[in-house]
A and B are shown apart, each in its own frame.
Chain A
Amino acid sequence: MDKNVGIVIVSHSPDVAKGAADMVRQMVGQEVPLAWCGGNPVGGLGTSVDAIEKSLHAAWSDRGVVIMVDMGGAETNSEMAIERLPEKRRTRVVVCNAPIVEGSVMAATESSASSPLEKVRRAAEELYLRS
């Protein structure tokens, strides 16, 4: 059986990224490949292409990986990290347009039900369609 869809959490703040990952682990459990990163290459607020790339490999699943981002550079740097992946992996990674904390939990919940990549992404993105 394949691994479930992986989740990578990318925030400008390592504390936010780790906190969101903690919530996923506690609320959803261990059956979802999960990695997080935050902070720029010198440790301040921001994001790092290298760190995102490492996280993508760490949370890799052949079913794909969703990336949860907070704002601006987290998304652009995630796109850059995707470009650096081997070609076969690139098409199996998507950046979610969703709130980072709630989106991470929703995506992980959907992934834990062994859902495919597109469904996992939708579970997170639908949060923006509510209310």
Chain B
Amino acid sequence: MVVKRAIMRANDETTRELIEAIANVVIAHTKELTELDRAIGDADHGVNLERGFKAVLERMDIIAVMPLGKALSEVGLTLIRSVGGASGPLYGKLFVTIGRHVEDARVLSRDTLVEAGEDAVRVLMALGKSDVGQKTMLDVLVPVLDELRSARGTAVLGPLRRRASSAAQATVPMLARKGRAAFLGERSQGHMDPGARSTELILSAVCHHLESRPGADT
């Protein structure tokens, strides 16, 4: 029998730390995300996500005492309610989908995360009616998921973080086909996609959080 090694064992404190790490990194980059969105979108990505994650922080006392899976789902539902832009449902569904997989899993293993990620990618493609290569958050999520799937050994978090960063960078020359950026056609090239950047920030914060935990690996 193969024993799946746990990536993390969540308790109230680790749940709180993880979600706060995600919320804080997004809030800290509000201005940058809004500026990226001003170049090719409608200049609200940063402020919308800031509002969403502030709402999450305000509800932290309720969220942190939930089991990790439920807590992640609750983060998603809070984003859907409070964001007010496309990023609300997109990130909302991402958190809800991953939360449900975590809830169903007895051990939070790499396999669980890969399955959760694959399911989330399917959900986001359907909701955003988009695919890889169209200058969206999928252009970070999918490569990072590939990295997670193919990774061997224990030192996975560093490569994941680097992959998230290079994938976000790779959206710069892409031609946008979704959202307002699609109206810009070739003028959308030369700017990093704000959704790809926020996804990189969130994934990177998760990696940092896991790295800082003793004995953490995959």
What DSSP secondary structure best describes chain A's contact surface? loop
Instruction: Decide: B127 and A40 in contact? CB cutoff 8 A.
Output: no
Q: CA of A4 to CA of B48 in the docked complex: distance in angstroms?
A: 36
Let me know if B44 is at the binding interface, CB within 8 A: yes
With A41-B82, A46-B44, A77-B89 known to touch, is A72 a contact of B180 (CB < 8 Å)? yes
Q: CA of A44 to CA of B50 in the docked complex: distance in angstroms?
A: 14
Let me know if B199 is at the binding interface, CB within 8 A: no
Instruction: Decide: B86 and A77 in contact? CB cutoff 8 A.
Output: yes
Instruction: Decide: A44 and B84 in contact? CB cutoff 8 A.
Output: yes
With A41-B81, A46-B84, A49-B81 known to touch, is A80 a contact of B180 (CB < 8 Å)? no
Q: CA of A41 to CA of B179 in the docked complex: distance in angstroms?
A: 21
What DSSP secondary structure best describes chain B's contact surface? helix
Q: Given the complex, which residues of B lie within 8 Å of A91, measured CB to CB?
A: none
Q: Among A40, A46, A50, A76, which residue has its beta carbon within 8 angstroms of that of B128?
A: A76
Instruction: Decide: A40 and B86 in contact? CB cutoff 8 A.
Output: no
Q: CA of A71 to CA of B80 in the docked complex: distance in angstroms?
A: 17
Q: Given the complex, which residues of A lie within 8 Å of B128, measured CB to CB?
A: 76
Interface size in chain A (residues, C-beta < 8 A): 20
Q: Among A39, A42, A50, A76, which residue has its beta carbon within 8 angstroms of that of B86?
A: A76
Contacts across chains A and B counted by CB atoms under 8 Å:
65
Let me know if A104 is at the binding interface, CB within 8 A: no
Q: Given the complex, which residues of A lie within 8 Å of B44, measured CB to CB?
A: 45-46
Instruction: Decide: B180 and A50 in contact? CB cutoff 8 A.
Output: no
Q: Given the complex, which residues of B lie within 8 Å of A76, measured CB to CB?
A: 86, 88-90, 127-128
With A40-B85, A41-B82, A48-B84 known to touch, is A72 a contact of B41 (CB < 8 Å)? yes
Q: What's the nearest-Cβ distance from chain A to residue B47, in Å? A: 8
Instruction: Decide: B51 and A73 in contact? CB cutoff 8 A.
Output: no
Instruction: Decide: B42 and A71 in contact? CB cutoff 8 A.
Output: yes
- Report B's interface with A, CB cutoff 8 A: 41-42, 44, 47-48, 51, 80-90, 92, 127-128, 179-180
- Report A's interface with B, CB cutoff 8 A: 12, 39-42, 44-50, 71-73, 75-77, 79-80
